[in-house]
Each structure stands twice: as structure tokens, then as C-alpha cells.
Chains A and B, each alone.
Chain A
Amino acid sequence: MAWLVVRLAISVSLLYAASAVFEDQVGKFDWRQQFIGKVRFALFDTHSQASKKLLVATDKNVFASLNSRTGDLFWRHVDKTGPEGHIDALLMYGQDAVVVVGNGRLLRSWETTVGGLKWETVLDTGSFQAAALVGVQDLVKYVAVLKKSAISLHDLSSGSQIWVENLPDSDSVQYQTIYSGGNGVVFVLGVVPNSHIVIVEYKIEDGEIMNKKSVEAVWMSSLESSCAVVSSGILLCVDQITQSLYTLPLQSAEQTEMRQIHLQMLDLEVVSGFRPVLTSTQPNPAQPPLSEFFLQLSPDHHILLQFIDGLIAPLRDFNPSYLAAFATSGERTVAAVMSPKNDTACSINLFSADTGRRHLDTTIIYHMDPNGGKPNRLYVHAFLKKDDSVGYRVMVQTEDLTLTFLQQPGRVVWMREEALADVVTMEMVDLPFTGTQAELEGEFGKKAAIQDGLLPMVLKRLSSQFILLQAWLAHLWKLFYDARKPHSSVKNDVTIDILSRDEFNLQKMMLMVTASGKLFGIDSKSGTILWKQYLENIQPNSVFKLIVQRTTAHFPHPPQCTLLIKNKDTGLGSLYVFNPIFGKKSQISVPALPRPVIQTLLLPVIDQDYAKVLLLIDDQYKVTAFPSTKNVLQQLQDTASSIFFYLVDSSQGKLSGFRLRKDLSTELIWEVVIPTEVQEIVAVKGKRANEHVHSQGRVMGDRSVLYKYLNPNLLAVITESTDTHQERSFVGIFLIDGVTGRIVHEAVQRKARGPVHFVHSENWVVYVYWNSKFRRNEFSVLELFEGAELYNSTVFSSLDRPYAPQVLQQSYIFPAPINTLEATLTEKGITSRHLLVGLPSGNILSLPKMFLDPRRPELVSEQSREENLIPYAPEMPIREEWFINYNQTVSRVRGIYTAPSGLESTCLVVAYGLDIYQTRVFPSKQFDVLKDDYDYILISSVLFGLFFATMISKRLAEVKLLNRAWR
């Protein structure tokens, strides 16, 4: 008996292992794009001329090395999210990159060619201020880290701490910068706002304070960006109120006052309200900085100045200019300046730093994306050409987080859309038909056709057939034309114009909304960005909700999507309506939303243009309809009594249900209060509107049917206890009917805590929580059944439900942490479901729902075997074959989006986080199409073989017949 059970289990699990990827399918219908986030520091490897490395550290706590020729990643290290992984500084010397992480908590040195860690040191606590490489006698040996109250010096090769010193008067003085010019001392500069500057001089060998002085500077509030060290240790500061530059030699002991140079004397003026910025350059940390520096006087005005013998002389005025940056190659330092050329383009030019003279033939034209943001950072990679002139490449970062790498004369070498590192929400929209397909549709779609009479209809038919023939011939010609071209040049350039729905609707348009407010339209088959649109003036803490109001099915009406942008703090929102295929903003007038929006509702009601009606509910429970034509309002009045919605107020632990009245006001119907002292609502989820359930029930082993409780209005509410002690914490789940407010079921998981991930679909809810007693993740599944008979088999009404459903629950151990959870979705819901689990390792596990079935028996019986139930096992298996993204891991996976395709067997999956991965899954194998490995050769060779065999046997038979006749 036992071996039978085991065999059954094995056979069942083998059956389901078939959802895995085959090796030859790699890259066939899946793709991954890796991102890094908004670049905060970028350094080009100038160690050797041939080096292609570009080191970047980003706001996503990512430290990566990019190939500067292609923009691809050499390697990437993703640190912990939040302030503990925050990269404070990036320094580079030779092959090593030194990174300060976690507000000065860790100091790491990376071997940049391999991408491995060289050493890591833990620093003392204290908030990070500055870090600098320190050189002695032309050799960089140390790195100095300045904290709020201490300075420490570390050896660059081993990371060991040479010395650490407390800073004098650190409670009153704000120490902000470090300077070392390679002459055996380190200067620490601090400021007491509106009083004086403090300069402390440390000896490199032992950290002894050589000198300490304070210089009066009443006008100064902060050293950062308004001060710089130039020439041989001259502190230079700029102040916009007094419109002056101030200089102070750091080393001289006698000068106790800063020398003031009025900007007027240089014929310069700082624009009022703008904080001027000083930029100097120190090409070699073991040598003092150059005497040239940039002064930015207004957002589009830079000037290159020189400090010689206590005097400041302007070298070149750049007006207008957006950005300016220094770069050094070998012994030569150059400055690159970006200035506007016309409305759509900027020109970048190279100037020699010491004279301000323009290098000839060094212009790079940068074309600004009309749908993008303004450039805001410029990184220059200078190199020496063979004829000893300086060549350069630039990387431009824009407000919308696009990185563009350009070389002369303006060729875009590569481009990265780093906004996609932070996708907030997404949708998939069907592609439209091609012109010819639409023409055919039009033939049948138009109402006029009926009145046309016979002859015009025949003509129309003939003409559309002719158009089809034409299109087919054009297609053949294209095939022929492409075949003649060499294989490499036939690269599929996907453009919007040629995109059309494929036979099985497997290719769709992915709409992605990113946190920076940039929208993308991406082709799901290739991952090509087809359009992008940067929405300006998006608050950084906005929340987005993307709604598809009209799909592509309503030709000739264009598809329509609406994005609700809501400020998290004020709740005030605005609507952005656009065409999802082309990314164009729609001309439709949008209702003004003067009050905070608290709930949105997409109704199945459509207006005369086939757009679904969106209801927006504000904080006074007033309803705004969009679109709000007369037709819509009429329909709303008719159906108002059956429109219900719910609101969640997690701060008061209140769930309330409302009904729409005919005059678009609302009335409260029910209210459920979950006391906030004990537990708080963390998430509420209904079912997906586009979900189809194929079977009403399950056939049991004894041939009876167990009917599912398919309540479309059911809400799953997850609560967590406010008490976080491991013995008393719990996770609660409530299943509430959204129309009546009736609590259908309630379950509590004791000694458990969040984060809770859950999926609510069909008649089941699957949720994951952390068992704090046994320190493991557990899955729990709730399934609701009506019983052996359906109460009302024709229609489901929440208002008429006399019997409570039967609820079955089972829990399992999941041997890995979980980042996100989603369920597969198919066109008609016939295919069995899988759960897609995003793991912190970056893998996406496709777990058959069969393993999460509360009817899994403890003891196998004949009936359970009949039903194909797997015997209960406490631990959920994780098999590597179930990882749908094999080694294409998705870093920090945050969400998984599933969409049905035209094939019932196929579900489209997009996982997003730091990376984006798109694939297809076949939860019940590909039962409706020929398999990938379908052996055409075998089948045709067998056919031909049989054919020839009959020919031969025919001949033989004829001979035999003849022989017999002669006999």
C-alpha cells in the first residue's frame, strides 16, 4: 500500500513537473532586461586606455560595472534596500573602487575586473559626511572617511584602520568636507553656521592634530557645493547674498580672515534665488587640485575661472549652458560644456581647462527627446587619441532617468531607460488589427451594410478580398527581399506601424508606469520600447492606478487608458488619458478632481463610444463619472441600485459598503469595524475582473459534484496584530461579501506575522505568512464550497444567500522566503492554475495549485486517488525545474503580472522589480498547439516512406499478378 502511495505521488509530481522550461526554449519567447536605477555616482575607468568599464552607484543601492561601448552590465551587486544599503560615496583608484555604504557604516573595496569584494570594514557609528582618497608622495595609499564626530584613515590595500580621531568641538561644529593635497596632511573643514569656519589639520602618519584654526565667516551656512578647494590648497567659497567670492589659503597660519572678491569686479552676478555652485577638479588625489574651476551663476549660466596668485580671472563665459564637467586623461584636463542649440537639441563642446580654448571638431549634438525630461547630469570620458589630441565620449542623464551615451559627432552609442528599474504598475493591452484586418472587420461591422443591398455588398466583398491578396503579395515580396539580404542585417526593427495582433494574441503591448512618472509602451515579444512619455510635475510620493477603459476591440474607436495619479499625502489626484498603442495623450476632456479621491470603480457599463465608465469617489462620498455624457448618466441612473462599492479606512480599522443612488450620491449600507487596538488592516483584495471560471464544481471520487462558492463580490481582508511580540502576534483573514458586508469566513493564524502575500481567485484564497514560533514561512489555503447542490445555479446574488459556504483550509511549510505572489490566468479558465512565487533569489517559482488543495488527504483512499489528490505532506516542494526564469533571475522582484493570451493553454507573465522579465507559461502543457519539438522531419519522412513503399509494393504486386496469370 505504501509503495503505491509513493508511486502515485511520484507519478503525479512528474506529471506536473512538465511545466518546466526546456533548454532549447531559452530566449525563444522570454526576455529579461536588467536595470540599475538612478545614477548617483558614475566613474569611467581611466586606468588604461582600452578599458571599457564604467562604474556606477545608484539610488537603488546598486553598484555596477557597465560596458561603456554597449551599455550592458559586466556585473552588478544589489545591496539591501533602504538606508542600510545606501551608497554614500564612490571613489576609484586603479583597479579598485572604494564604496561607503549605509550612512558610513561599511567601507568596501571592490576588485572591478572580477566584480568581487576585496575587503570590507565596519566603521564606527556616526553619520557620514565625506570620504576622500589620500595620497602621499604621488602615491595614493589611504582613504579617509569623515563622520559627524570622527575622522578615520584606512589603508587602501587591506582596509585596516590606520587611525581614528575624534573631531574637536564636534557638537557645535558641522564638519563637512575633507581635503588632502598629497603633502602629508589631511584638512577637515567644518562650519558653525553664520559664525565661522573651522579648519583642522591632521598628520597622515599618526593622526596628530598639526594645526587648528577658525576663520570668521558670518555669511556662511554650509560648505557643501558653495565651497571648493582649488590650486595649492586655497579654499574658495561663493555667497549669493554678498555677491562675492571668498578665498583662504588652508595652510598659512597667519591669515585669519577670508579675502573677499566682489563678483561685480569680474562683471558677474548671481541670479537671485539661485544657490551658486563651485566645481573644481583634482585629477590625482596625491596632488593638489587644478587652479581652474567652474562657477554656476544661474541654472543655465556657467563660467570657467582661474585662480592665479590670489587673483581670479575669467577664462571663458558659457552663457547659456546647461551643464559643465571636467575630465582628465593622462596629464590633460578638459572641460565639457553642454549648451542649448535649438529647441530640440543641445551641443556639447570640449574646452581645454587651462586656457578655456575650444578644441576644434569636438562638437557632439545631443537630441533631446520631446517626450522626455531635461538633461541634468553630464559624465565625461576623455581619452587621448593616437595623434595626442583629446577625444571624449559623454553620458547624459536626464530628469526622466534616461542614460544616453554619445560619441562624436552625436551618434548615440547606447541608451538605458533606468526609470524602468522602478515599475509601479502595469497592464497588457491587445495589439490592434492591421489595416487589412480592420478593413475586413469594417465590412461586417458597419450597420449600413445591411441596407446596402446585394450588389454593393458583393463589390465590397470583392474589394476586401483584393486588399487581402495585395497584402499577402506584399508579405511574400518582403519575405523574398529579406531572404536575399545577409542574415545579420535582417534585424527585426519593431515599430508601432508594423505591429499587429498575431494569430494567437500572444504578442501584446505592455504598459508600464514608473515611479518617476514616465510611461512606457513595450512590445511583449521582444521587449522593445515602442513609445515613452514623461509626465512632468509628478510628486515623488505619488501613487498610480492604471485603468484600461476601452480595449482595441472597438475599431474604429482607438483604445483608451486612464492613469490616475494621486498624491499620497494630500490624496488629490489627476487623470491622464492616453492611447496605449501609440502613447499619445487623448484629447478627451478630463473631469477636475478638486477633492481627494479615495476609491475608483470601473463599471461594466459602456458609453456610446464603447468606453467603460470609471467612477471616482471622493472623501465626501461624492461620485464623479468619467466619461460623463448624457448617455452614461442615463445608464447610471438605470443601474444605480445595483452598483455597490466599498471603502477601506485602515487607520480606523473600518470597512464600509455603499450603494449608488440615482442622483450619483451614495448611501452607506454596511460597516465592519476591526478594532485598531488589536489588529490593523494591511490589505484588501477582491477578485480580478477579467477572470473566468470554467467549471462550477469539482467531481469527487464517488462521482458526486462539490460545487464551488463563486461569489464575485467577495473581499479578502488581511489583518496583522498590533502586538508584535512573537508569542502574541497573529495574522487574521476575513472574507467579507462586498455587497452585504456579511463576514463569510474568518480565520486567525496565531504566532504569525507578516508580511502577508496573498492571492484571491475563483473560490480560493492562498496566503503566506511568517510563523514566528517555528521561524519559517507557511502557506495557507482557504477554499469555499457551496456543497453538493447549488443554491441558485443561474445567477449569483449576494443578497440571497441563506446558507454559509463550507470552508476548507490547509497549511503547508514553504522552505524559502517570498517576495511576491500571483496566480496564472488564462482565457477561459479551463487550464489548471499555477501560483507564481517571486523569491528573493530572483527566481520565479511556478507552483501547481494542486499542491495547495485543502482536500489533500492524510491517508490515501480509493476516492482520493480517483480525484488525483496528492497525499498531504507538510513541506511544500521547491524544484529547480519549476523556476520559469531559469538563470534569468529578477532582482528584488516586486510584482508579477499575468495576462491571458488567445491560446487557452498559455498565460503571459511579466515579473518586475529591479529587472523586467517576460515569459509565457503553460500550466497544463501546450495542449492546444503543436509542441515546440514536434518532429516535422520524422512525420514527413514516414509519410514519404509509406508513399514510396506503396509505389514499390504496387509494382511488385503487378509483377506477381502477371506471373500468376502466366502460370
Chain B
Amino acid sequence: MQQMKRLLDIYVALQALFALSRCFSDGEPGPVAGSQSNGDRFKIEGRASVPGVKTQDWISTALILVEGEEYVGFLKTDGSFAVNDVPSGSYVVEIVSPSFRFDPIRVDITSKGKMRARLVNHIKTSEVIRQPYPLQIRSSGPHTYFMKRETWGWTDFLMNPMVMMMVLPLLIIVLLPKVVNTNDPEMRKEMEQSMNMLNPNPELPDVSEFMTKLFSKGSSKSGGGNKGSRSVALKRR
């Protein structure tokens, strides 16, 4: 509430500023409620278009709403429209269509029937950014109602850092022996040395061996397998 109040204060100040720059001298049109009695009714006119789409494909589902459902208008076959019997006041005119998006426009009608169209700004309500009148409303494209599903693709999979971390060492393991000539006895010696360094105890079963044992013996001896694994872990440490 506090914020609201502060904001309102700011806007009141802004309003005073804008009053200077206004081209419309008579300011805000009269009260919206209760103005029906004066009897003068006006017409809001305009034209709506959807770029690249024929009018007959969308007008049958579209509707012009003035200030909610206060006044309702329909689109003509050429895309133009007129909302009749609107008393003076300030209204938000909106074209409603289930398939296309249109931006609302505020239309001010003075008691003399002078019209002005401007952008809707709910925060700075008195700011005037003029729009052409009769209204020219262009659709900004189809509605985007749906979220994109996260699709699974090979590229996404491969670009995953975890996968990269796993795949690259694998490649090195597989490809390195091919690159290095293993037939060279010196090299073999060197490698064996390094292997021995890595694996100090040659009697120790390696992990793959252990896994195969585990699978071949089945679940009945899994207890023993577990023990083995523990010992491996211990020895490795």
C-alpha cells in the first residue's frame, strides 16, 4: 500500500509535467460513469489488419471490446470496424482474437465528440503518445500460448559437460594406442613400465575382471563380490 501511495505521488507530479506538453487542451474527458445521460453518442472507428493473413480467415472469431464488454463491435469483411453509441469518456479499445495478438489503444472522446487515440499506459495514465485516429491497429503476430518442450537431441546430449567429461577420456584411451606405435619394443617397454607404475600389484584383479566375475557368478555370490570390492578399495588406497 505504501509503495502504491508513493507511486501515485510520483504520477501526480508527472501528470503536472505532462499537462504542459499536452496538445489536448481540455484535459481529461468527463466522468465515465453516469455520463450516459447527456445523450450524445459517438462512434469509434478504425481498421485492423493482420500482416500476411486474409481478413476472412480471422474476422469471424474477432471482436472489438471497448472497456471490457461495455461496448462491443464487429469487424467488417475489409477489416474496418466501428463501435456505435459510445458516450464521451476515455476507453481502452481492444481487438480480441483467439489467434492473433493486438495491442490495446486508449481512445478519449470529449463531450463535443473530438477523438484522440493514444497508447495505453496504466502507470502513467495521463501520458499521451498519440496514435492515428481513425485507429490503425496492426496485429503483432499470432499468440504464443504454448511453452516449448525441452526436446532431446544428439547435439544437446553431446554438448552436455558431463558427457564431454566422459567421452573425451574415452576417446583418448581408445585412440592413443592406435596413434602410438605399439610394435616398437622400446615403446612397449616404456608402456609396461608405466603400467606397472599404475598397477603396483599385478595379482590384484582389475575392476573389469571383478565386474565380469560378479555377473558370471550371479546374485548368489554377490556377498563375496562385495567383500572383494571392499578389499579392492582398500588396497587401492
**A residues adjacent to B (C-beta < 8 A):** 17-18, 20-24, 74-75, 77-81, 84-85, 102, 105-106, 108, 111, 114-120, 122, 724-726, 729, 753, 772, 774-776, 809-811, 813, 815, 817, 819, 840-842, 858, 872, 874-875, 880-881, 883, 886-889, 892, 933, 935, 938, 950, 953-954, 956-958, 960-961
Give the contacting residue for A883; candidates B7, B82, B145; CB below 8 A. B145
Within 8 Å of chain A (Cβ to Cβ): is B123?
yes
A11 to chain B, nearest CB (A): 16
- Give chain B residues whose Cβ lies under 8 Å from the Cβ of A105: 84-85
Question: Contacts A810-B4, A950-B211 known; A842 to B98 CB distance under 8 Å?
Answer: yes
- Give chain A residues whose Cβ lies under 8 Å from the Cβ of B81: 117
User: What is the number of residues of chain B that contact chain A, defined by CB distance less than 8 Å?
Assistant: 55
Smallest Cβ-Cβ distance to A25: which chain B residue: B146
**CB-defined interface of B61-91 with A at 8 Å, one 1/0 digit per residue?**
1010101111110111100011011000010
Question: Contacts A810-B4, A840-B69, A880-B145 known; A938 to B152 CB distance under 8 Å?
Answer: yes
Give the contacting residue for A24; candidates B99, B120, B149; CB below 8 A. B149
Give the contacting residue for B96; candidates A75, A80, A108, A842; CB below 8 A. A842
Smallest Cβ-Cβ distance to B55: which chain A residue: A116
Within 8 Å of chain A (Cβ to Cβ): is B183?
no
**CB-defined interface of B115-142 with A at 8 Å, one 1/0 digit per residue?**
0000010110100000000000000000
A117 and B74 form a contact (CB under 8 A): yes
- Give chain B residues whose Cβ lies under 8 Å from the Cβ of A78: 63, 72
Give the contacting residue for B122; candidates A117, A119, A875; CB below 8 A. A875
Complex: A117 Cα to B72 Cα, angstroms: 13
Complex: A842 Cα to B72 Cα, angstroms: 14
- Give chain A residues whose Cβ lies under 8 Å from the Cβ of B208: 953, 956-957, 960
B77 and A118 form a contact (CB under 8 A): yes
Question: Contacts A776-B125, A810-B4 known; A840 to B32 CB distance under 8 Å?
Answer: no
Give the contacting residue for A114; candidates B31, B77, B99; CB below 8 A. B77
B123 and A874 form a contact (CB under 8 A): yes
Give the contacting residue for A118; candidates B76, B122, B143, B209; CB below 8 A. B76
Give the contacting residue for A772; candidates B33, B59, B71; CB below 8 A. B33
Smallest Cβ-Cβ distance to B65: which chain A residue: A840
B69 and A886 form a contact (CB under 8 A): no
A75 and B61 form a contact (CB under 8 A): yes
Complex: A415 Cα to B72 Cα, angstroms: 30
A858 and B3 form a contact (CB under 8 A): yes
B31 and A887 form a contact (CB under 8 A): no
Within 8 Å of chain A (Cβ to Cβ): is B219?
no
Complex: A85 Cα to B74 Cα, angstroms: 12
Complex: A958 Cα to B208 Cα, angstroms: 10
- Give chain A residues whose Cβ lies under 8 Å from the Cβ of B75: 116-117
Q: List 15 A-B contacts (CB under 8 A).
A: A17-B147, A22-B146, A22-B147, A23-B146, A80-B70, A81-B69, A108-B74, A111-B77, A116-B76, A725-B34, A811-B1, A817-B67, A840-B68, A886-B145, A953-B212
B147 and A21 form a contact (CB under 8 A): yes
Question: Contacts A22-B149, A953-B208 known; A776 to B122 CB distance under 8 Å?
Answer: yes
Complex: A79 Cα to B74 Cα, angstroms: 9
Smallest Cβ-Cβ distance to A110: which chain B residue: B74
Complex: A450 Cα to B96 Cα, angstroms: 65
B76 and A21 form a contact (CB under 8 A): no
Question: Contacts A726-B32, A875-B122 known; A119 to B76 CB distance under 8 Å?
Answer: yes
B146 and A886 form a contact (CB under 8 A): yes
B146 and A881 form a contact (CB under 8 A): yes
A926 to chain B, nearest CB (A): 13
Complex: A769 Cα to B122 Cα, angstroms: 14
Interface-central residue, B61, B94, B146, B208, by most chain A CB under 10 Å? B146
A116 and B96 form a contact (CB under 8 A): no
Within 8 Å of chain A (Cβ to Cβ): is B60?
yes
B74 and A77 form a contact (CB under 8 A): yes
**CB-defined interface of B208-225 with A at 8 Å, one 1/0 digit per residue?**
110110011000000000
A881 and B145 form a contact (CB under 8 A): yes
